[in-house]
A and B are shown apart, each in its own frame.
Chain A
């Protein structure tokens, strides 16, 4: 079955440290990939998306993600965490234009002062 897996329901890093949130998809055909962020008491918003134009995708707020077909991964990174990055992050996949978007279970990112 087509699915997306986010490893780690909760990740905690120190302010200024590297942020790494993991996402793996299950498919032999590369899907279309997205990262969404949900700040406390706010709706979900798009952080970045993979459109096959480039494997390294840059998003808002200094985040980026790299598509690695060999590893079926699309991990999200940020070199230096800010307190304002504390939120829930969701990886999502879509396999065709006529299909639903499948979301991962989410990773809650906490930032330690």
Chain B
């Protein structure tokens, strides 16, 4: 079956521009997560959705970052006025949300480069 998909796979933008990153989770998965992976770093948690609501958005680094999820499915991560330090791979994951030991299924990521 189809896995988690993300688009675009690569995005190059100029400093100060806004970008939108999209995540299509596995059908039926109620939980959705966004992470950021910078070069040589681990995964930095950004935000967690349960359905369309976000019980935990504590990882969003600044008010330039926002995310939404509609219809309990697709999610969009928006970065406004991008900065060079925003350059990273942005990963999305989804899970059935059946409990604490849920397995997260990751997408291939979007590589964002801010010039």
Q: Are A90 and B42 in contact (CB under 8 A)?
A: yes
A49 proximity list for chain B (CB < 8 A): 101, 103
Answer yes or no: A40 CB below 8 A from chain B CBs. no
Q: Are B99 and A101 in contact (CB under 8 A)?
A: no
Chief secondary structure at chain B's binding surface: loop
Q: Are A45 and B100 in contact (CB under 8 A)?
A: no
Could you list which residues of chain A lie within 8 angstroms of chain B, going by C-beta atoms?
A: 6, 32, 34, 36, 42-46, 49-51, 90, 94, 96-106
For chain B, the count of residues having a C-beta within 8 Å of the partner chain is 26
Q: Which of A51, A101, A104, A106 has the most CB of B within 10 A?
A: A101
Q: Which of A32, A44, A46, A99 has the most CB of B within 10 A?
A: A44
Could you list which residues of chain B lie within 8 angstroms of chain A, going by C-beta atoms?
A: 4, 33, 35, 41-43, 45, 48, 50, 55-56, 58-59, 91, 93, 97, 99-104, 106-109
Of all chain B residues, the one with the shortest Cβ separation from A91 is: B42
Q: Are B100 and A32 in contact (CB under 8 A)?
A: yes
Cα–Cα, bound, A45→B104 (Å): 8
Q: Are A44 and B106 in contact (CB under 8 A)?
A: yes
A100 proximity list for chain B (CB < 8 A): 33, 45, 48, 56, 58-59
Q: Can you list 14 A-B contacts (CB < 8 A)?
A: A6-B42, A32-B101, A43-B91, A44-B43, A44-B91, A49-B103, A90-B43, A94-B101, A97-B97, A97-B99, A98-B50, A100-B45, A100-B48, A105-B41
CB of B108, distance to nearest CB on chain A (Å) = 5
Contact among A34, A96, A98, A104 for B42, CB-based, below 8 A:
A104
- Assuming A32-B100, A98-B55, is B106 touching A43 (CB within 8 A)? yes
Interface pairs A-B: 10 shortest CB-CB: A105-B42, A103-B43, A44-B106, A43-B106, A32-B100, A97-B100, A51-B101, A106-B42, A43-B108, A46-B103
